[in-house]
Structure 1
Amino acid sequence: MQSLERFINILEAFSAEKPELNLSELVKKTGLPKPTVYRIVEAMVKHNILSKNPKTMRYKIGVKLFELGSIYLASMELRDIAFPYLDWLQQQTGESIHLGILDGNEVVSIEGLESAHSLRLKVWIGKRAPVHCTAIGKAILAFLPLEKQNKIISEVSLHPFTKRTITSKEKLKTELKKIKKEGLAQDLGEHEEGIHCIGAPVFDRKGEVIASISVSGPAVRMTEEKMKKYTPLLFKAASDISKKLGYSS
């Protein structure tokens, strides 16, 4: 915790008025010992969190923070664009709707709407879920470049959340091929017992998958018949969001 606080103190020393600081200035602004500041800022430079001018020996915010900030801004823009279509989808189906993005080897819910039914799937913004056994995760995973997809599959633990969870990497790859062909991902109680979910990918103007949306509900309502009924509605919402993002199929 102390190391984290020192890391944050150093970052907060930079400002729009003072975008570049030398070591002495950082020591003065943070109140930390000079050896401590030097050790931390050099580690930050190594990971591109800060950059260092070798001529002036001054530090400034690095490209890594710009990249992370860009991800945040993109996700906020995505939420604003997607929300009307998520709302429409929720009204059409009456079930819980999620919008998720890939973060590392997990999928994170960045927007959602809850079903009005008393028996419903709770929507938690910011909730993380496994990528291999959720419809919202598989809908993204299936459309990633093969190299990235294989990397994620090799790294994730195919933990059996239920007896229906796919725990074989080969079976998962086979299912992902099917999802890519059909455009639809399903979770029939793979992550949570008694919960069924269908998901579809969202693409940006470059044709790259950047998110997915899903319709989720208890298995007693999300029957095979209902899922077939909701699939074209899900496809329409995902397609409309993609078009708004500049995607042309």
Structure 2
Amino acid sequence: MSTRKDVVQSVDRALTLLEYLADEPEGLGVTELSNRMDLPKSTIHRFLKTLLERQYIRQNPKTGQYQLGLRLLYLSGSLMDQLDVRKVALPYLEALGKETNEVIHLCVRDGDEAVYVEKVEGDNTIRMYSKVGNRVLMHCTAVGKVLLSELPEDEIAAIMARTGMPAKTKQTITDLKTLLTELAKVRSQGFAIDNVEHEEGIRCIGAPIRNYEGEIVAAFSISGPTFRMTEERVKTELSSIIKHYALLISNALGYVAAEVT
């Protein structure tokens, strides 16, 4: 197990610089980076020069600000290609998006959070803040509830203790007992609902993707505005559709415990 004393300081600083730039789409200048990282401008210049030469960052010719470079797409693309569930699921997610005309998300668990690894949008879908790479808490999202649903209760409790259960909307579940009751319902019905719990005006329904051993390895959801994603539509039409696609994708990953209908 590594400790801070094992960390190469220059590498750690370079990665921290990239993370700051990732949080600022418009870019940052040398002075701002120097202030944020508490390092001399001369040191920041050396990092920037190296990263520029390797194309991991670029300098906006109009503003002079530094931004992430296209080279990072190569790394992120390679990582995405290693996620077999994403490659297998994508054609089904695209079909689901066309069938429902809503936004489709694919998420995996990473520690105490869920991470978006794919997003499918149609021409008429509403714009949502989510994007690939975003991290979300699990107590207030349909995909998160799915990813939590088959974990031991003590593990769920530990996750909630670490992350807290902040109210994102008036509908957010903010106590562990209610969440555990909700997760039992998710297990029994085979899908989870985010009833305007994460983002105002948005309702979602999510379902699990299982591997050949029957373990939940990812979750996907259908998301849209409440005026289209009505409670009736979600519980009748979309619950049936998403369970069907959950089986299709899971079967494609080798899950054979149930027949696709």
TM-score (norm 2): 0.66
Name the residue aligned to 1:38: none
Are residues 149 and 96 of structure 1, via their aligned partners in 2, closer, same or farther at CA, if it must alter by over 3 Å?
same
Q: Distance in 2 between matches of 1:131 and 1:75?
A: 24
Q: Distance in 2 between matches of 1:157 and 1:237?
A: 32
Any gaps of 5 or more consecutive residues in structure 1?
Answer: 10-71
Displacement of 1:225: 2.5
Q: 1:110 aligns with which of 110, 117, 124?
A: 117
The answer to whether the 8 Å contact 1:96/1:115 transfers is: yes
Are residues 240 and 3 of structure 1, via their aligned partners in 2, closer, same or farther at CA, if it must alter by over 3 Å?
same
Are residues 4 and 76 of structure 1, via their aligned partners in 2, closer, same or farther at CA, if it must alter by over 3 Å?
farther
2:6 matches 1:5: no
Q: 1:179 aligns with which of 168, 183, 186?
A: 186
Name the residue aligned to 2:168: 161
Aligned amino acid, residue 157 of structure 2: N
- Write the deviation string for residues 132-187 of structure 1: whole angstroms up to 9, x where unpaired: 00001101111224443333233220001111111111111111111111111011
Q: Distance in 2 between matches of 1:177 and 1:80?
A: 30
Name the residue aligned to 1:136: 143
Map 1:46-195 to 2 at 5 A. Answer: 76-117=83-124, 119-195=126-202
Q: Distance in 2 between matches of 1:87 and 1:220?
A: 22
Displacement of 1:208: 1.1
Q: Distance in 2 between matches of 1:141 and 1:4?
A: 36
Are residues 224 and 144 of structure 1, via their aligned partners in 2, closer, same or farther at CA, if it must alter by over 3 Å?
same
Displacement of 1:238: 1.3
**How many residues are paired up?**
186
Q: Distance in 1 between matches of 2:121 and 2:129?
A: 6
TM-score (norm 1): 0.69
- Write the deviation string for residues 39-72 of structure 1: whole angstroms up to 9, x where unpaired: xxxxxxxxxxxxxxxxxxxxxxxxxxxxxxxxx5
The answer to whether the 8 Å contact 1:199/1:215 transfers is: yes
Aligned amino acid, residue 124 of structure 1: K
Displacement of 1:204: 0.8
Are residues 230 and 109 of structure 1, via their aligned partners in 2, closer, same or farther at CA, if it must alter by over 3 Å?
same
Aligned amino acid, residue 251 of structure 2: K
Name the residue aligned to 2:207: 200
Aligned amino acid, residue 171 of structure 2: R
Which of the two has higher C-alpha Rg? 1
Are residues 73 and 189 of structure 1, via their aligned partners in 2, closer, same or farther at CA, if it must alter by over 3 Å?
closer
Any gaps of 5 or more consecutive residues in structure 2?
Answer: 1-6, 15-78
Aligned amino acid, residue 5 of structure 1: S
Name the residue aligned to 1:240: 248
What secondary structure sits across from 1:163 in the alignment? coil
Displacement of 1:74: 8.2
Are residues 220 and 201 of structure 1, via their aligned partners in 2, closer, same or farther at CA, if it must alter by over 3 Å?
same
Aligned amino acid, residue 240 of structure 2: P
User: Over aligned residue pairs, what C-alpha RMSD do you find?
Assistant: 2.2
What secondary structure sits across from 1:100 in the alignment? strand
Are residues 74 and 157 of structure 1, via their aligned partners in 2, closer, same or farther at CA, if it must alter by over 3 Å?
farther
Are residues 77 and 188 of structure 1, via their aligned partners in 2, closer, same or farther at CA, if it must alter by over 3 Å?
same
